[in-house]
Amino acid sequence: MIKATFKALQKKWNSYKYRFVPWIAVNLGKNERTLRQVMDRTQDKLVSDEEISASLRTFFRALFKSSLQRQQEVLSVLPDSLRSTYQAFPYTIETQKSLDGHHDPSKVMLETMGFSIHRAPSSLQSAGTGVFISAGTVPQGATVAMYPGTVYYAHEPIFFQSIRNPFIFRCIDGVLVDGNDRGISKVVFRSCSGRDRLGPFQMSDTSWLTTIPQNPLAVGQYVNNCSNEKAANVCYQEFDVPAEFPLELCQFLPNVNYRHEVQRPLRCVVLVALREIHQGEELFSNYYTIVH
Ligand SMILES: C[S@@+](CC[C@H](N)C(=O)[O-])C[C@H]1O[C@@H](n2cnc3c(N)ncnc32)[C@H](O)[C@@H]1O
């Protein structure tokens, strides 16, 4: 009898693909109505990797073009044809005018993606900071945010970074992403990012560790969990950066591998809109997914 109960409990526990390790320990069972259910691990993805890759490339190209002054070193080593593509149309006239010579990634986001996001105190009591739509409308299926941080594969040492850290995200396959922008986590990210630099090419963006990220998508670690009153409007989706991702655009990726010698594509996590989301709305995700 005890053995059977234990087995049943273990089966239930194993089916949880919990996203935040400390959060689930405290809240499991409190809020069953807010669980996300998928029938199979392969059905977890709402949009294709190709769509995510295409939207990131379009946005990153716009960020690149809007910061050409900062890109001189990178431009100097690009093939002539690629360099002239970037230089020919630096950015749309509207944005150039509104920027007044200043590079404002949020404006570039609004113009390219049709919406922009920002961090502010959550609409939920005692939930700290949350993420809101500042302007525009997010279409269903769009990439709304990215979950930044250091990527740890199985058996890589994360013990000290994980102490009292609510920002450790767990991918559906067990890979961990530490999105904490303070303390030891911050030092680790900066150090791994500096290590991976390839000449003039930065392979990741460290500005998400500050209050003004160069890639404004990279605030997904501040998205709060849904509740009975506030349903989820975004979900997490793992995205492995393909080998053919343009080298000059990697500077906007907010993730880095903890180990340099990892022979796998870089793991990123994006937040995808479950429905149309409007200006002023707060983003809510699902910290739990149950795979049947
Ligand atoms: C990944 S962080 C999200 C960012 C967090 N709001 C902050 O300001 O640092 C996860 C933590 O946010 C808080 N949180 C998330 N969703 C919540 C909710 N629905 N109600 C209360 N607190 C929440 C919990 O403290 C949780 O450990």
What is the rounded distance in angstroms from the CA atom of residue 170 to the CA atom of residue 162? 12
- Per-10-residue mean pLDDT, the chain, length 292: 57 55 55 56 79 97 93 95 84 53 84 97 95 98 98 89 90 92 97 95 97 96 93 95 96 96 90 98 86 56
Residue with tokens 């499991």: 28
Domains of the chain: 31-88+102-291 (2.170.270.10)
Q: Are residues 253 and 284 in contact, defined by beta-carbon separation less than 8 angstroms?
A: no
Ligand 1 geometric centre to CA of 114 (Å):
27
Supply the pLDDT for residue 164. 87
Supply the pLDDT for residue 110. 96
Give, rounded to a whole angstrom, the gap between the first and last alpha carbons of the chain: 24
Burial 43-72 (b: 16+ CB within 10 A, else e): ebbbbeeeebbebbeebbbbbbbbbeeebe
Residue 21 Cβ inside 6 Å of ligand 1? The answer reads: no
The candidate with the shortest Cα–Cα distance to 87, out of 105, 109, 107, 69, is 69
Residue 124 Cβ inside 6 Å of ligand 1? The answer reads: yes
Supply the pLDDT for residue 33. 47
Residue 128 Cβ inside 6 Å of ligand 1? The answer reads: yes
What is the rounded distance in angstroms from the CA atom of residue 225 to the CA atom of residue 60? 28
Residue 125 Cβ inside 6 Å of ligand 1? The answer reads: no
Ligand 1 geometric centre to CA of 219 (Å):
13
**Is 0.85 exceeded by the ipTM?**
yes
- The reported pTM is 0.87
Supply the pLDDT for residue 263. 80
Residue 127 Cβ inside 6 Å of ligand 1? The answer reads: yes
Give me the amino acid identity at 54: A
Residue 165 Cβ inside 6 Å of ligand 1? The answer reads: no
Residue 69 Cβ inside 6 Å of ligand 1? The answer reads: no
Ligand 1 atom at minimum distance from 230 CA: 19
Supply the pLDDT for residue 156. 86
